[in-house]
């Protein structure tokens, strides 16, 4: 069955450092992969989408890579700030119907 | 800005009660989704709809039903609430794939079944 794995342990980093979160998947051939941010008690908010034929995508301090051979996406936040503290979810879609399968998310804590 | 609203932020119900969770979106999106989110299990799809009066089962439809009588409104129904349905319920909407694949979420309803 399809499986998406994100590190369940919280990631604690110091302000100003680069945070790197990992999303691995098996038994899936996604047409695209998305990253969402979720704050406590709120719904997820879309951040970035990367398609299967793209290696890398950037948006301000965010960078996403997508390796369909390794079946892995890396999500980077450069110059991290305490305001970046949240849970980050990856989601995969096969296309043609817009149904997504979500990972369980990784909690990021940026400390002063 | 896309806005997805849910009828309640917090809800407490008793076992056996019929529960209605309502979701409304204001962007004329075709697609709407209901998820539940539990610690360690992530977001799980309950039902989704691609059009008015149309519905498809997600990964965990048992114990739930849905209704989509109007394009902007998608309701989740718990016919007879049980304690294992205590969870955070999230509604989302999106436009067809050729426009965008992004899903827009509501704020969530935290349902407690006693």
Residues 6 or more apart whose Cβ sits within 8 Å of residue B44: B35, B36, B37, B38, B58, B59, B60
Out of A44, A95, A105, closest to residue B97 by CB = A95
**Which chain B residues are closer than 8 Å to A43 by Cβ?**
4, 90, 92, 105-108
Question: Quick one: CA dihedral B99, B105, B106, B111, positive or negative?
Answer: positive
In this complex, do A43 and B107 lie within 8 Å of one another by their Cβ atoms? Answer: yes
What was the pLDDT predicted at A42?
93
Residue B101 C-alpha, separation from nearest chain A C-alpha, in angstroms: 6
What was the pLDDT predicted at A24?
96
What digits encode the pLDDT tens for the residues B45-69? Answer: 999 998 898 999 999 999 999 999 9
Question: Using an 8 Å Cβ cutoff, are B108 and B11 in contact?
Answer: no
Question: Using an 8 Å Cβ cutoff, are A13 and A21 in contact?
Answer: no
Taking chain B (114 residues) in runs of 10, the rounded mean pLDDT of each run is: 89 97 94 94 93 92 96 97 98 75 92 98
Q: What separation in angstroms does the CA of A110 have from each of A20, A41, A49, B1, B26?
A: 12, 19, 23, 28, 35
Nearest to B40 by CA among A100, A41, A45, A6: A6
Phi, psi of B28 (to 5 degrees): 60, 30
Which percentage of chain A shows pLDDT scores above 70?
Answer: 96
What was the pLDDT predicted at B99?
52
Helix (H, G, I), strand (E, B) or coil at B36: strand
Cα gap A52→A33, rounded to integer Å = 8
Position A99 confidence tier, pLDDT thresholds 50, 70, 90? confident
What digits encode the pLDDT tens for the residues A28-73? Answer: 888 889 999 999 999 999 999 999 899 999 999 999 999 999 999 9
What was the pLDDT predicted at A17?
97
Question: Using an 8 Å Cβ cutoff, are A103 and A91 in contact?
Answer: yes
């Amino acid at each position: 069955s399809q499986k998406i794995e994100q590190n369940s342990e919280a990631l604690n980093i110091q302000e100003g450092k680069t945070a790197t979160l990992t999303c691995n998947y098996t038994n899936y051939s996604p047409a695209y992969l998305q990253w969402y941010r979720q704050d406590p008690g709120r719904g997820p908010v879309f951040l970035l989408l990367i398609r299967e034929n793209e290696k890398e995508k950037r948006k301000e301090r965010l960078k996403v890579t997508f390796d369909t051979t390794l079946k892995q996406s890396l999500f980077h936040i450069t110059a991290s700030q305490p305001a970046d503290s949240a849970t980050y979810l990856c989601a995969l879609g096969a296309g043609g119907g817009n149904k997504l399968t979500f990972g369980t998310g990784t909690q990021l804590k940026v400390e002063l | 800005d896309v806005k997805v609203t849910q009828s309640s932020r917090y809800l407490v119900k008793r076992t056996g009660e019929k529960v209605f969770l309502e979701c409304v979106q204001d962007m004329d999106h075709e697609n709407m989704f209901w998820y539940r989110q539990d610690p360690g299990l992530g977001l799980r799809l309950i039902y989704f709809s691609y059009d008015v009066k149309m519905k498809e089962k997600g990964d965990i439809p048992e114990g739930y039903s849905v209704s989509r009588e109007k394009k902007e409104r998608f309701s989740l129904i718990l016919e007879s609430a049980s304690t294992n349905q205590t969870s955070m319920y999230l509604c989302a909407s999106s436009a067809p794939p050729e426009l965008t694949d992004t899903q827009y979420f509501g704020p969530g309803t935290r349902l407690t079944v006693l």
